[in-house]
Amino acid sequence: MKRTHERRLILSAAAAGVLIASVGSGFAASPLKLEFVRHAAFFSAGTKQPKTLDPHVFIEDASAPEATGPQNIKHVAGVRPALVDLDAKTSKLFNAEHKPLGFDLQSWLSATGTVSIAEKDGKVTLDATFKNLQPNASCSLFENHFDTAPVSFTPMDGAGKTNSFTTKTDGTASVTVALPSMPTHDNAVLVIYNSGGQPHGMERGRIGVDAHHQIVARPE
């Protein structure tokens, strides 16, 4: 009788262990859900700019001298960084070399998006959707690292192979990327518009020339 009782206890414990293991293996933390914001506003607030500006796109200004603007982006004479709240939204945009980007300030500022990042069974997956990006455009997802000085950037996938995408004709896109780790407040998800039409692998590109920070999402 005693042996029978012990056997039942062992079987019950084993069954409980299997159940716990089963539940544990399927456990997934709540996904991280974020809204993208304009990089211009994010950067200007973070660096305490007196006026909200976009260091990555430029407006024609005959009085503007050749200079190095915010984020160490050099631009030629005749253009300056766009002032988000002061420049007309119909203003045509240019890159730092005074080459037209082919759209106006309103179109650039209209981009929106959401991102969900989930971890399950040791794998981290990012799912993002976007609206009002440039149509048929090349874009890349990079990760900001605010815990380095200066801030550094790496492809969201860690390899520069699956972090880029092409938008649809209406400027929308849906993207899924496997990440090397779960982002924290030390990081952000950054959308880069590749105005040259091609991604740049492990690098962002020539910032302000053929690669431009557009929208960003940072965990709390």
* pTM (2 d.p.): 0.87
How far is residue 32 CA from its own chain's centroid? 14
**Calpha distance 95→50 (Å, rounded):** 22
Beta pairing, strands 187-194 & 138-145? antiparallel
CATH of domain 32-37+113-217: 2.60.40.200
Return the domain boundaries, the chain: 32-37+113-217, 45-107
pLDDT, one tens digit for every residue, the chain (220 residues):
444 444 443 334 333 333 333 334 445 568 999 999 999 999 999 999 999 999 999 999 999 999 999 999 999 999 999 999 999 999 999 999 999 999 999 999 999 999 999 999 999 999 999 999 999 999 999 999 999 999 999 999 999 999 999 999 999 999 999 999 999 999 999 999 999 999 999 999 999 999 999 999 999 9
Residue with tokens 């766009």: 82
